[in-house]
């Protein structure tokens, strides 16, 4: 049966992350898990809060009928109210459950938002480096992803973003803390961005929807703050999930929150609800809607991620590999080192990741994130694995 040409093309350039992750499974079967240093995928290894397991037991033993039936497409009202309380506290803007749509993870929520706002040929802007699936999400709904380089420190280049906005620009995606760099955008960044969006609206006659993708919001270091977007730009939407903060990536539970200050907040919310249904999600998973309604504000200790960040940066320092120190999330974005022992293109991230794989280190090339010459390491792995990787990194650097 023939496959659509654009799907064949998309598959050929599909996620480097998943590709390396799957190769890691094969390597571990050959050499043993302890002998493969898999930094490929952001699969959090902290266990969910204890309350999650307790609720699952209670729900499994409950005699209540209808627990697995349909609910309104936007989700249970009590879950939406809990998410409204969460977002209100984070954004410093009061909103109620009517501006929340529960989603099948942040990815499902973002796809519903993009389907709601994109017309064929519209552009979606994103600051590079960026999470590579954004390109597929935009294309799913007739849009084209257009990348704008960030500044050297990976902060937003507001001037470059403003220059890239045209009458075809429908949306701008920001991700803070950023995957793959761990960069957190400041209030000054967000306020400057909002001013640029206001000027662009006056110039083009079209308001750009700002989509803030925030699954790593709680995973921050050194007391940093993830700046809110709702107070700065009315046409904004938050998409997030509980994959990273509560370590529930496989449960696919997230939400979209529409800024109540948007001139068409009701229309946009209704459109996201409709798109959740017609995309085939229908609704977010029932069981975990109930769980996150009760567990969203459970305390989680992320200090082990900071410890592992420092452990891995120490190893990279010894090996002579440069990196950008992350302010949040659990990724290190590293510069491909200059070649010393061999000839060839010094900045070839694909070649360097293949070289690392020869030492059984799995990393993701930066070109997959729109930033050639760099590579990403996900350090949400055991301290033991990080420690055991020391000699492999040193050897890889020496032989490059």
Q: What pLDDT is recorded for position 347?
A: 77
Q: What pLDDT is recorded for position 119?
A: 97
Are both 22 and 130 inside the same structural domain?
no
Give tens-digit pLDDT for 372-382: 999 999 999 99
Final residue before a domain boundary, out of 295, 323, 347 = 295
Q: What pLDDT is recorded for position 7?
A: 82
Q: What pLDDT is recorded for position 211?
A: 98
Q: What pLDDT is recorded for position 27?
A: 73
* Distance of alpha carbon 123 from the chain centroid: 20
Cα distances (Å, whole numbers) of residue 145 to 102, 137, 150, 215, 246: 25, 9, 15, 21, 30
DSSP 65-88: S-TTS---TT--HHHHHHHHHHHH
DSSP state of 382: -
My answer on whether omega of the bond before 46 falls inside 30° of 0, hence cis, is no
Residue 62 falls inside a structural domain: no
Final residue before a domain boundary, out of 263, 295, 327 = 295
Average pLDDT over residues 230-238: 98
Are both 195 and 246 inside the same structural domain?
yes
Q: Which distant-in-sequence residues (6+ apart) come within 8 Å of 195 by Cβ? A: 158
Residue 113 falls inside a structural domain: yes
Q: What pLDDT is recorded for position 12?
A: 67
Instruction: Yes or no: say if 40 and 21 are a contact pair by the CB < 8 Å rule.
Output: yes
CB count within 10 Å of CB 97 equals 18
Are both 259 and 161 inside the same structural domain?
yes
Q: Residue 59 phi/psi, 5° resolution?
A: -70, -35
Residue 212 falls inside a structural domain: yes
* 11 pLDDT more than 80: no
Which residue has 């969910």 as its token pair? 48
Q: What pLDDT is recorded for position 4?
A: 81
* Structural domain total, the chain: 2
Residue 270 falls inside a structural domain: yes
Q: What pLDDT is recorded for position 384?
A: 96
Query: Which band of pLDDT confidence, cut at 50, 70 and 90, is reported for residue 247?
Result: very high
Structure tokens at 383: 């301290």
Q: What pLDDT is recorded for position 300?
A: 97
> Which residue, among 360, 367, 361, 358, has the nearest Cα to 399 in the 3D structure?
358
The fraction of the chain above a pLDDT of 90, given in percent, is 87
> How long is the chain?
400
Give tens-digit pLDDT for 283-341: 999 999 999 999 999 999 999 999 999 999 999 999 999 999 999 999 999 999 998 86
* 15 pLDDT more than 70: no
Whole-angstrom Cα distance, residue 232 to residue 235?
9
Give tens-digit pLDDT for 153-189: 999 999 999 999 999 999 999 999 999 999 999 999 9
Are both 120 and 254 inside the same structural domain?
yes
Whole-angstrom Cα distance, residue 239 to residue 211?
7
Give tens-digit pLDDT for 87-132: 999 999 999 999 999 999 999 999 999 999 999 999 999 999 999 9
Average pLDDT over residues 82-91: 98
Residue 26 falls inside a structural domain: yes
From the number of C-beta atoms within 10 Å of its C-beta (0-12, 13-18, 19+), residue 250 rates as exposed
The residue ranking higher by pLDDT, 9 or 277, is 277
Whole-angstrom Cα distance, residue 103 to residue 241?
8
Query: Which band of pLDDT confidence, cut at 50, 70 and 90, is reported for residue 66?
Result: confident
Q: Mean pLDDT score of the chain, rounded to an integer? A: 94
Final residue before a domain boundary, out of 295, 312, 342 = 295
Domain residue limits at 320: 5-48+301-398
* 34 pLDDT more than 90: no
Are both 260 and 386 inside the same structural domain?
no
Whole-angstrom Cα distance, residue 199 to residue 152?
25
> CATH number, domain at 306?
3.90.1150.10
Are both 129 and 213 inside the same structural domain?
yes
Coil, strand or helix at 312: helix
Q: Residue 237 phi/psi, 5° resolution?
A: -135, 135
Are both 340 and 389 inside the same structural domain?
yes
Q: What pLDDT is recorded for position 127?
A: 98
């Amino acid at each position: 049966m023939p496959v659509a040409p654009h799907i064949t093309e998309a598959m050929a350039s599909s996620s480097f992350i998943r590709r390396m992750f799957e190769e890691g499974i094969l390597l571990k079967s050959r050499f043993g898990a302890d002998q493969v240093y898999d930094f490929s995928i952001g699969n959090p290894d902290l266990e969910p809060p204890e309350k999650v397991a307790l609720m699952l037991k209670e729900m499994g033993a409950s005699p209540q009928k209808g627990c697995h039936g349909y609910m309104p497409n936007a989700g249970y009202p009590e879950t939406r109210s809990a998410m409204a309380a969460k977002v209100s506290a984070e954004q410093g803007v009061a909103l109620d459950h009517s501006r929340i749509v529960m989603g099948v993870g942040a990815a499902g929520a973002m796809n519903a938002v993009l389907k709601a706002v994109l017309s064929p040929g519209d552009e979606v802007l994103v600051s590079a480096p960026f999470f590579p699936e954004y390109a597929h999400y935009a294309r799913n709904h007739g849009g084209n992803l257009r990348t704008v380089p960030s500044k050297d420190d990976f902060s937003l280049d507001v001037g470059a973003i403003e220059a890239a906005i045209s009458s075809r620009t429908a949306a701008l995606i920001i991700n803070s803390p950023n995957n793959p760099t761990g960069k957190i955008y400041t209030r000054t960044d967000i306020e400057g961005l909002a001013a640029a969006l206001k000027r662009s609206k006056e110039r083009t006659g079209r308001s750009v929807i700002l989509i803030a993708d925030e699954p790593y919001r709680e995973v921050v270091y050194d007391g940093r703050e993830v700046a809110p977007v709702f107070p700065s730009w009315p046409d904004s939407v938050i998409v997030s999930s509980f994959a990273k903060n509560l370590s529930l990536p496989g449960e696919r539970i997230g939400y979209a929150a529409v800024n109540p200050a948007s001139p068409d907040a009701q229309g946009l919310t209704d459109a996201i609800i409709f798109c959740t249904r017609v995309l085939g999600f229908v609704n977010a998973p029932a069981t975990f809607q109930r769980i996150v309604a009760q567990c969203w504000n459970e305390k989680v200790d992320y200090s082990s991620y900071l410890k592992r960040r420092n452990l891995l940066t120490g190893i990279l320092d010894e090996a002579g590999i440069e990196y950008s120190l992350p302010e949040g999330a659990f990724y290190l974005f590293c510069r491909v080192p200059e070649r010393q022992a061999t000839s060839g293109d010094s900045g070839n991230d694909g070649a360097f990741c293949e070289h690392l794989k020869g030492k059984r280190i799995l990393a993701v090339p930066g070109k997959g994130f729109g930033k050639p010459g760099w590579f990403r390491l996900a350090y949400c792995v055991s301290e033991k694995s990080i420690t055991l990787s020391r000699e492999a990194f040193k050897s890889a650097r020496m032989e490059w």
